[in-house]
Structure 1
């Protein structure tokens, strides 16, 4: 029995009590059950009686007694006790606990998936690095976290579109093109240009496509260089993301907002909403109406649009494309964007508390990392992948809250010790796979369908502990999706791994020499393989591999 199934049982018991006239109260849609701190108090506990006592019009302990009287007869429940002012402690039948191993293996890759966010249509924007250079350390955290969050949201039933906003408009692209052209022509780098060997590599790439650029008039050559260098750099960015296991459904061009007249359309839409003001020859959006610290200029007095106008047009584009919920993952230097983006949503007629969500990631650093010679002033993601590996990077970046600064210890991530969290979890999976192979070598198998599995035999304390953590996995996934915190999954996997190692040391799966194979051996193989499945499913949600051998 999973925690979700036990929760449903408590809800059913409450409904039965209401139908029988024993209680008069609205039955909640969810009831939280948790592991008690003291295992002597039972397998699970709930405070539902204390939460509903006021609505029921009776003391919490009296309500708990009504619930317990019915709950103790529920299938899979071995006993119910009431403690203190109304805590309900529940002990499950060993067979009901052990049956979870079969449930997990039957669900296979879908175990942990849930429908808590069914019906939610979400646009998830992350990374969105300028296409003027390679992805670097600053982009790495959101690449890992954004992709993990997308996987977790989808596992919880949401319809998610991963989107990358390409900042391919404005002066930065002109500076980028001038830098590449300077390399092509053998000239000094222009003031404010982009340093690094990658510019030289782009110049070689562009020249290979258009060998006449070096002799061409600079004014004529510049737009050609801009187009070709931009395409080459964007292709390199996309390739790096794929190597990191990150995919996007949409690459949205900022320039397209200008080319398609969407900035003017955004101004008209916001004017119709009543939040546009013309003053001093410029067009302003009154974002102070919705908590921004100052109104924002959309169109300057000279007729040129601002970056803010593009932000507004981009938000409205997402809205028009049918995304009710829009999640932005922004870097540590973007705190000032929060109020203005929320104000755009409000000016557009949306609810900033429901239709837009902005997550700010803190900076990361890597001890011992050197600046990239190729990039000139940064550590490239490609170099990090080569140095530390995709799995170590992704797991490490996913296991910490986004809003906490992170200092990566490369020596730890490269170590094959239990102090290395990704190794610890991956090793638990590999160990379970090795244990299954060893069991097969000794003739231990799951048995024929319906035979060889006796859930009640999984009664050792280590087995009950391991099963409890395996049972919590679906609620951890749902909680990670709701809270936008993939690190909850990583931390839970480490708990599962610890419980598995303790179980492995205490409970033999293969009989000793001369002993016969029993259903205990076969049933423990089910538990072993169920653990491997949960570890595999959790690692997949983080975009991390689950090796069978290490």
Structure 2
């Protein structure tokens, strides 16, 4: 990573913090980074937090903390420290170290890769109407914010469809509700936890109709993939077994990663993150995996499960591009090589991310399709 790359990385973090409402300040045209002076910490230093503190109305140390959270996991960044009144100090990875660190983190954390504690101080109360899309959206939002450490309670305005057989049907869609009726706007037990309405465009169908026609996985994807302010297309295209169906693409990509693991085991080799450097065609997939924790945090902060769906689609597309240009399994009489071991590690990491993301949407990831 060059100083220019690092400057763009920090500037991107500022843009993201402003977009996520974590920081309210004008975004500078550029961010200056300098070589650390003798006796200082890290390879490079930056004073952007001090520059933004006045407009943001926050202490420079708090601005630095907000930016560090968004820079620390960037490829090429080994460590980010806050020094003095709010300087950011960066230690860069050696080439290839950041890729190995990402893949090792995916392997170690499994389907919880990308989960974190950024929202651990938040107590959230969501409330939705007696309508299936609102219920499924609230459930997915719950999963997202809990994955980032928040505590959550969900209420529905009335039992309605939740009663009798309807309750079982909503349960088949993975929905749970903590209470019925409309609670007070502010909780007496916690005045800092206001009631947050969940109001997507209604589905125009009942849970029973969707379950009978689509099944639970396709129904949830159809309800969650569009942004909540858009109508949810819930036609038979959700059941098409082809790459034009994003749900099939994502699940097929996951299933393909499992095939690769089984194939490698049959050939007697295992994945290794440090076996060989990655080809340039692997870069889009590596970058998406590195960005996955930030994507989940942004989706949780914006209460937007559709962002997770789009992230998974991007990972699936990048996986197939990588798979086609850099096959993880040898062909013909070719012997397994270090490159195959590295490629297999990347493929397995992609599968882990796809399965974990589908789980947050309440959708299964079958190993066979």
What TM-score, normalized to structure 1?
A: 0.52
Change (3 A) 1:434 1:15: same
Aligned residues of 2:155 and 2:179 also touching (Cα < 8 A): yes
CA distance in 2, matches of 1:386, 1:23: 57
SS, match of residue 196 in structure 2: strand
Q: For residue 30 of structure 1, what is the aligned residue in structure 2?
A: 66
1:319 aligns with 2:336: no
CA distance in 1, matches of 2:197, 2:331: 57
Q: For residue 114 of structure 1, what is the aligned residue in structure 2?
A: 116
Q: For residue 57 of structure 2, what is the aligned residue in structure 1?
A: none
Q: Counterparts in 2 of 1:295-306, with a 5 A limit?
A: none
1:510 aligns with 2:329: yes
1:235 aligns with 2:235: no
SS, match of residue 163 in structure 1: strand
SS, match of residue 505 in structure 1: helix
Cα distance per residue 1:25-60 (max 9 Å; x no partner): 3352133559xxxxxxx9789xxxxxxxxx99xxxx
CA distance in 1, matches of 2:209, 2:165: 13
CA distance in 1, matches of 2:263, 2:310: 29
The match for 1:76 among 93, 111, 117 is 93
SS, match of residue 162 in structure 1: strand
1:143 aligns with 2:160: no
CA distance in 2, matches of 1:476, 1:425: 16
The match for 1:159 among 146, 151, 173 is 151
Q: Counterparts in 2 of 1:349-428, with a 5 A limit?
A: 355-365=194-204, 379-408=205-234, 410-428=235-253
Change (3 A) 1:19 1:356: farther
**Higher radius of gyration, 1 or 2:** 1
What TM-score, normalized to structure 2?
A: 0.75
Aligned residues of 1:102 and 1:526 also touching (Cα < 8 A): no
Q: For residue 339 of structure 2, what is the aligned residue in structure 1?
A: 520
Aligned residues of 1:113 and 1:477 also touching (Cα < 8 A): yes
CA distance in 2, matches of 1:235, 1:18: 72
Cα distance per residue 1:403-431 (max 9 Å; x no partner): 123333x2311211111111111111011
Q: Counterparts in 2 of 1:242-321, with a 5 A limit?
A: 242-248=171-177, 250-252=178-180, 254=181, 314-315=183-184, 319-321=187-189
The match for 1:124 among 103, 122, 126 is 126
Cα distance per residue 1:457-485 (max 9 Å; x no partner): 24212212111001111101100111111
CA distance in 2, matches of 1:162, 1:17: 52
Aligned residues of 1:463 and 1:503 also touching (Cα < 8 A): yes
In the alignment of these two chains, the number of paired residues is 318
Aligned residues of 2:241 and 2:248 also touching (Cα < 8 A): yes
C-alpha deviation, 1:14, in angstroms: 8.6
C-alpha deviation, 1:392, in angstroms: 0.9
Aligned residues of 1:17 and 1:23 also touching (Cα < 8 A): no
CA RMSD of superposed structures (Å): 3.6
C-alpha deviation, 1:241, in angstroms: 1.1
